[in-house]
């Protein structure tokens, strides 16, 4: 499909006025195309030859709309840091509509598009820095096999936007199968709009939850909570296994279909530190790395509460009780793959826990350790494995490797096959904060090449790409724990 043939439809906006407000974007005066994402274009069925089409600058900044666009600000609320906030909604983003391709529907959401009735004191804008971080995060997570929203294109401008300092404004078109958050259901529940809530339950079930057609609202609501619980458990497990810290797991940042959603001060771990807090305004560590599964469950409780008009407390509790075992199961599966284990053994959890403890104490870089370990042959540690860990932990590592050796002997796979499988799940390239920083600084100077290079590497993070070795380097000490604020 040519870019000019893209036509949008509007199942969400068609739900009615209870769900948001029809409003047009406020375009930038001088939009400048920074990048288009060929993988997402392909997902939507847009011809790859359209990647350089100058029309992207206008489409990606609201100056021109896709055929049939009916921009719509969605209303939602949510719990932020545990406190209910009734004033939320799309304050700087608009749902443009959806595209169907190859049997799937994708919503386009223009972020940074100007003020809406839900902007409160905000300016409706997003800065280049946060837009690049969101753009890259979606690709990095997707590249690692983690559910995430993604972005179709990114557009910059010379429009000044004031945060801690004056920065420049940017927009991106976010793409997801749904932009409905836990907070959409909380809004309808707390404002007692039961009929609208019924409509939304039915719509989400119709689109995403199998075998719910024709069920009563109560049955659908229960099936929806089971579905979201399972998806969220898999999501939390994959964050923990791949070392991703979201940073702001408020219920308005939780996707009903289990995508990683709304990127703020997120971080991929450099050194393995379970207590890592990436958001410098998270003083209590509510959203620390190791807290994530617990917080996701807290958020699911809030969602369950919002569905309590339709589902009995017993049934809600039963759904939520599935969460912990689902996380454990999904996490164990991912960690086993990272360790190259195909069979399942009772002791695997202990083996993994012992390793994590020594990685923590040895201040080891999480991704690099697993990448080097991927070349392990029985009783022959690969070159550089010990260098990943502080010398104080070398004895502990030796001990752990003895256990690992014994465990590997009970595997049926040969080491060559195992090495290949491990390299395919332990990334060489991850989105480290210092790399994002480097790309942002270049983009600020008008050089978008580093951004495009990093985007491509993150889209195939398991490949060697020998010509881009520097992007896989260990972070400098100054590049670790860069404090990140919520302002975006
Ligand atoms: P976030 O921190 O991006 O998840 O946003 C939390 C809430 O604040 C949402 O309702 C956003 O729409 C709104 N918001 C964040 N930044 C802005 C902004 N610059 N202008 C208007 N609303 C905003
Ligand atoms: Mg948000």
Active site residue 348: no
- For residue 370, what pLDDT band results from cuts at 50, 70 and 90? very high
- Say yes or no: CB of residue 124 within 6 Å of ligand 1: yes
- For residue 90, what pLDDT band results from cuts at 50, 70 and 90? very high
pLDDT at 103: 96
Report the nearest atom of ligand 1 relative to the CA of 91: 12
- For residue 485, what pLDDT band results from cuts at 50, 70 and 90? confident
First-last CA distance in the chain: 34
Q: What is the tens place of the pLDDT at every residue in 17-72?
A: 999 999 999 999 999 999 999 999 999 999 999 999 999 999 999 999 999 999 99
Task: Compute φ and ψ for 75, nearest 5 degrees.
Answer: -100, 130
Residue located nearest, by CA, to atom 23 of ligand 1: 91
Closest CA to 249 of 288, 307, 281, 301: 288
- Say yes or no: CB of residue 91 within 6 Å of ligand 1: yes
Task: Compute φ and ψ for 32, nearest 5 degrees.
Answer: -135, 125
77 within 8 A of 85, measured Cβ to Cβ: yes
Q: Which of 23, 76, 119 to mutate to test ligand 1, by most ligand atoms within 8 A of the CB atom?
A: 119
Mean pLDDT over each residue of the chain, to the nearest integer: 97
pTM score: 0.98
pLDDT at 455: 98
pLDDT at 49: 95
pLDDT at 487: 86
Report the nearest atom of ligand 1 relative to the CA of 76: 10
Any idea which residue has 């860069």 for tokens?
482
pLDDT at 303: 98
191 within 8 A of 214, measured Cβ to Cβ: no
pLDDT at 380: 79
Q: What is the tens place of the pLDDT at every residue in 136-149?
A: 999 999 999 999 99
Q: d(Cα 350, Cα 346) in Å, to the nearest integer?
A: 8
- For residue 429, what pLDDT band results from cuts at 50, 70 and 90? very high
Give the DSSP per-residue string, 420-455.
HHHHTTS-S----HHHHHHHHHHHHTT--HHHHHHH
- Say yes or no: CB of residue 92 within 6 Å of ligand 1: yes
pLDDT at 313: 98
pLDDT at 483: 75
Half-sphere exposure of 213 (CA within 13 A, CB side): 4
Task: Compute φ and ψ for 320, nearest 5 degrees.
Answer: -70, -30
Of 19-33, 96-110, 171-185, 473-487, the poorest mean pLDDT is in 473-487
pLDDT at 412: 85
Alpha carbon of 248 to those of 42, 90, 289: distances in Å? 30, 17, 11
- Say yes or no: CB of residue 35 within 6 Å of ligand 1: no
Q: 19: Cβ–Cβ under 8 A, 6 or more apart, which residues?
A: 12, 13, 74, 75, 184, 196, 200
């Amino acid at each position: 499909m040519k870019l000019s043939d893209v036509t949008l439809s509007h199942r969400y906006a068609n739900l009615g006025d209870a769900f948001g407000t029809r409003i047009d974007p406020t375009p930038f005066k001088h939009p400048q195309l920074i990048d288009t994402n060929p993988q997402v274009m392909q997902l939507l069925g847009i011809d790859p030859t359209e990647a350089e089409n100058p029309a992207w600058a206008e489409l990606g900044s609201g100056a021109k709309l896709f055929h049939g666009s009916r921009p719509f600000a969605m209303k939602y609320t949510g719990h932020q840091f545990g406190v209910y906030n009734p004033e939320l909604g799309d304050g700087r983003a608009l749902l443009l509509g959806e595209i169907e391709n190859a049997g799937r529907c994708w919503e386009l959401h223009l972020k940074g598009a100007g003020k809406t009735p839900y902007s409160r004191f905000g300016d409706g804008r997003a800065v280049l820095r946060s837009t690049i971080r969101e753009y890259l995060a979606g690709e990095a997570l997707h590249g690692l096999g983690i559910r995430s929203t993604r972005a179709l294109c990114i557009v910059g401008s010379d429009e000044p936007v004031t945060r801690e300092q004056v920065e420049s404004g940017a927009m991106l078109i976010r793409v997801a199968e749904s932009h409905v958050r836990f907070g959409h259901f909380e809004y309808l529940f707390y404002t007692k709009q039961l009929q609208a809530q019924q409509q939304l339950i039915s719509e989400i079930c119709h689109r995403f939850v199998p075998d719910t057609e024709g069920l009563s609202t109560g049955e659908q609501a229960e099936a929806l909570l089971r579905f979201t619980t399972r998806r969220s458990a898999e999501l939390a497990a994959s964050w923990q296994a791949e070392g991703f810290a979201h940073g702001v797991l408020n219920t308005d940042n939780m996707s009903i279909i289990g995508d990683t959603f709304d990127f703020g001060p997120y971080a991929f771990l450099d050194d393995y530190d379970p207590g890592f807090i990436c958001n410098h305004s998270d003083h209590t560590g509510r959203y620390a790395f190791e807290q994530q599964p617990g917080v996701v469950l807290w958020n699911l409780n809030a969602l369950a509460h919002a569905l309590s008009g339709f589902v009995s407390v017993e049934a809600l509790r039963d759904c939520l009780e599935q969460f912990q075992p689902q996380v454990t199961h999904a996490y164990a599966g991912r960690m086993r793959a990272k360790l190259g284990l195909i069979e399942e053994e009772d002791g695997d959890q202990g083996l993994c826990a012992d390793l994590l403890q020594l990685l923590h104490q040895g201040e080891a870089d999480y991704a690099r350790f697993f990448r080097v370990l991927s070349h392990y042959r029985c009783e022959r540690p690969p070159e550089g494995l010990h260098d990943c860990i502080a010398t104080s932990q070398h004895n502990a590592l030796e001990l752990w490797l003895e256990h690992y050796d014994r465990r590997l002997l009970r595997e049926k796979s040969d080491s060559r096959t195992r090495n290949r499988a491990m390299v395919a799940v332990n990334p060489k390239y991850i989105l480290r904060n210092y790399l994002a920083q480097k790309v942002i600084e270049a983009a600020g100077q008008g050089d978008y090449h580093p951004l495009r290079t990093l985007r491509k590497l993150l889209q195939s993070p398991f490949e060697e790409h020998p010509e881009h070795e520097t992007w896989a380097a260990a972070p400098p000490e100054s590049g670790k724990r860069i404090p990140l604020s919520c302002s975006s």
